[in-house]
Amino acid sequence: MSEVVSYNREGKIGVITVNYPPVNALGQAVRSGLLAALEQGQKDADAKVLLLVCEGRTFIAGADIREFGKPMQEPTLPALVNTFENSDKPLVAAIHGTALGGGLETALSCHYRVAVSSAKVGLPEVKLGLLPGAGGTQRLPRLTGARKALDMITTGEFVGARDALALGILDAVDDGDDIRAAGLAYAQKVADEGKPVRRVRDITDKIEADKGSDVFDQFRDELKKRARGLFSPFKCVDAVEAAFSLPFDEGMKRERELFMECMESPQRGGLIHSFFGEREVSRVKGLAKDTPVRDVKSVGIIGAGTMGGGIAMNFVNVGIPVTIVEVKQEALDKGLAIIRRNYENSAKKGKLTQAQVEQRMALITPSLTYDDFRDVDLVIEAVFENMAIKKEIFARLDEVCKPGAILASNTSTLDIDEIASATKRPEDVVGMHFFSPANVMKLLENVRGSKTSDEVKATVMAVAKKIRKVGVMVGNGYGFVGNRMLHKRGTEAMSLVDEGATPQQVDKVLTDLGFPMGQFAMSDLAGIDVGYRIREERRKAGEDIPASWMDKLAEQGRLGQKTLAGVYKYEEGSRKPVPDPKVEQLIEQFRKEQGITPRAITDQEILERCMYAMINEGARILEEGIADRPLDIDIVWIYGYGFPAHRGGPMFWADQEGLDTILCAVKKYRDTVGGEQWEPSALLEKLVSEGRKFGDL
């Protein structure tokens, strides 16, 4: 018998138990173990009914993703589930935790399914650039009908046990939390009542009901909007449609063909890289697993503006009380009013009850004095980017906060060490860079200063997990990882427009690549004044920052979406960027003043200059150790800057593009465009000369 699957009998019930931590994934050992256990159960004359149950925290959470891309080993999953379904003894699946992907498909090949009420089921393969490849697209619609099956399979969203019961996916839900007992009781009932083998493949009423329906085309149209540029969601619809147009076995064949097409798509590689990357970034290089973590049971926030308010919501959302300090009462009132409005909007959408709104608002204490920070465990400063003001604040925090309190800055560019130098406890100072809107964006760029202690680093990574953010630890340097690379892309985007491109041409190249919005639409969202103030700060600091047509927009009060005019113009109540002839005139005027003769610029040049400048900078960031691994950069960009996850992030994408191609282009632009951003990174040169990739680092 295999180590990971066991068989025993309890009375008339043959019990097949999977125990393969952490999530009982269907690796080769589990698949062959299941097959052997099923065979044993078949042969066990005293076993009238068979029960499939799992040890640990969850039922099978899918195929073993780590096996993808490697040669497929027998038994294959489709063969296994068909063998299960063909069992001539009733098979019951007992589900706890999450029955996902191949796990749910295995349960669907059983004849009855029972779950504890806390369980969830789902077919999230589409999130990995795949589709359910072991019968999920053929069996699920036989239970739920076309629309619900399409919804579950094209979104990958999980469904709770009670809803799954209502949908016919489950046969029973047990209110207890002992899945083995619940499974045995249900299997006993099947045995006692002599319930027959019931194969999902034979259930056709829902198939007949939706045969020839236009729901498939409706989903294709809808996916054109919500899955723009993605490959597998459309294949999911094709596969489910096959269940309504082909006999079962041919439908299974069609599913396999479509599954293999998804497997071969580069998007699968990008999405799986993102899946594991999101988990890997939580393991910080050089930080021991058992590094002590401080308790963070109360938080202080300085500034009730857009960032401060959003940051506060993250903590009260998980029940951590927050004290917000502002300089003036009206700023405080305005900030809290925005937070309340955000929650009430969620309540209007049914995402929160009014009681939950009040409960969260009750966890926020407005204040006008730092003294109210004396007992908090963590303080996050979220005021606008001015070093002098930030140092003043940290000096004050140093006086009032208790020993052991963590002092964090939400700065998006400034030097953490310089901020820390304003205190006598630089080891307790760290950057916690949230992204706007802070209550929505998943990324938290945690910035270690040169003196930040391991305990503080481990604590802010744990805080990220606690407030449901993807935390990435990065080093201290201008713009850290994300903004530093964004700045290079921005510089190239600006130059491309100076030289002849239009803002909308540049933005279209980026949205065609898969970004939710382009460089200039993003500037309009963030506010033209934000970039303008940073440039003015740097000019005041003596840096030679050239004039730009963007400054003229700011000086004319075209600050972006908030003034319904920036690089684009906006209709009242709409976020849709509309090219504005006035801006084109302004840019033409600017070119004249700069003596620039515009030229035709290709989309390929725009792609190369915007993306390769970022990647060259990403390589420098790795050289300097500001990012420990290429995947840290990838996850920062996917969760903080909308880099399309199906391309795996900038460094993963660069490997797909070919580092030699990129280096060649970098050198071309060094010689033609110029600028320090086109000096090839030593790391990039080294990898190319050794025929290696970022993925090899």
Task: Show which residues are catalytic.
Answer: 105, 125
Pick 153 or 302: Cβ nearer ligand T1G: 153
Q: Which of 14, 41, 102, 449 binds ligand T1G (CB under 6 A)?
A: 102
Closest to 100 (Cα-Cα) out of 158, 35, 19: 158
Q: Tokens in use for 347?
A: 């309540």
- Member of 33, 41, 62, 618 binding ligand T1G (CB under 6 A): 62
Q: For ligand T1G, which residue of 16, 47, 91, 100 counts as binding (CB under 6 A)? A: 100
Residues 399-428 that bind ligand T1G (CB under 6 A): none
Q: Which of 13, 38, 61, 443 binds ligand T1G (CB under 6 A)?
A: 61
Q: Which of 64, 255, 445, 524 binds ligand T1G (CB under 6 A)?
A: 64
Tokens of 345: 């909007």
Beta-bridged to residue 430, according to DSSP, are: 408, 448
Binding characters for ligand T1G, 111-140, by CB under 6 A (x = yes)? -------------xx--x-x-xxx-x----
Pairing of strands 120-122, 159-160: antiparallel
Residue 184 CB, nearest distance to ligand T1G (Å)? 24
| Residue 553 is a binding residue for ligand T1G (CB under 6 A) | no
669: tokens are: 């632009």
- Indicate left, alpha or beta for 513 from its phi (over 0: left) and psi (-120 to 50: alpha): alpha
Is residue 108 a contact point for ligand T1G (CB under 6 A)?
Answer: no
Contact between 22 and ligand T1G (CB under 6 A)?
yes
Contact between 242 and ligand T1G per CB under 6 A = no
Evaluate whether 505 touches 598 at the Cβ level (below 8 Å). no
* Identified binder of ligand T1G from the candidate list 66, 402, 468, 692, rule CB under 6 A: 66
Nearer to ligand T1G, 27 or 642 (CB): 27
Q: In the set 5, 18, 34, 63, which binds ligand T1G (CB under 6 A)?
A: 63
- Shortest distance, CB of residue 286 to ligand T1G, whole angstroms? 18
Tracing tokens 């009681």 back to the chain, one arrives at 355
With H, G, I as helix, E, B as strand and everything else as coil, classify residue 289.
Answer: coil
Applying CB under 6 A, the site for ligand T1G has a residue count of: 25
Residue 531 engages ligand T1G in binding (rule: CB under 6 A):
no
- Reading the block at residue 485, the tokens are 């690379």
Distances from the Cα of 73 to the Cαs of 28, 66, 76, 100, 134, in angstroms? 7, 13, 7, 21, 15
Structure tokens at 661: 């191609």
CB of 508 to ligand T1G, least distance (A): 32
Using the rule CB under 6 A, give the single segment among 60-68, 335-343, 524-532, 615-623 that binds ligand T1G: 60-68
Beta-bridge partners for 54: 18
Q: Which stretch binds ligand T1G (CB under 6 A): 59-67, 225-233, 454-462, 511-519?
A: 59-67
Q: Which of residues 271-310 bind ligand T1G (CB under 6 A)?
A: 276, 279
Burial 168-189 (b: 16+ CB within 10 A, else e): bbbbbbbeeeebbebbbbbbbe
Amino acid at 448: R
Applying CB under 6 A, the span of 22-30, 142-150, 491-499, 609-617 interacting with ligand T1G comes to 22-30
Q: Which residues contact 637 (CB under 8 A, 6 or more apart)?
A: 482, 485, 643, 649, 650
Question: For the sheet containing 98-100, what is the strand order?
Answer: 98-100, 120-122, 159-160
Q: Between residues 63 and 626, which has the closer beta carbon with respect to ligand T1G?
A: 63
How far is Cα 133 from Cα 258, in angstroms, rounded to an integer?
A: 8
Q: Are 405 and 376 in contact (CB under 8 A)?
A: yes
- Which of the ranges 93-101, 243-251, 317-325, 603-611 carries the binding residues for ligand T1G, by CB under 6 A? 93-101
Looking only at the bridges linking them, the beta strands covering 49-54 and 91-95 are parallel
Strand partners, 174: 116
Interface ranges with ligand T1G (CB under 6 A): 22-23, 25, 61-66, 77, 98, 100-102, 105, 124-125, 128, 130, 132-134, 136, 276, 279
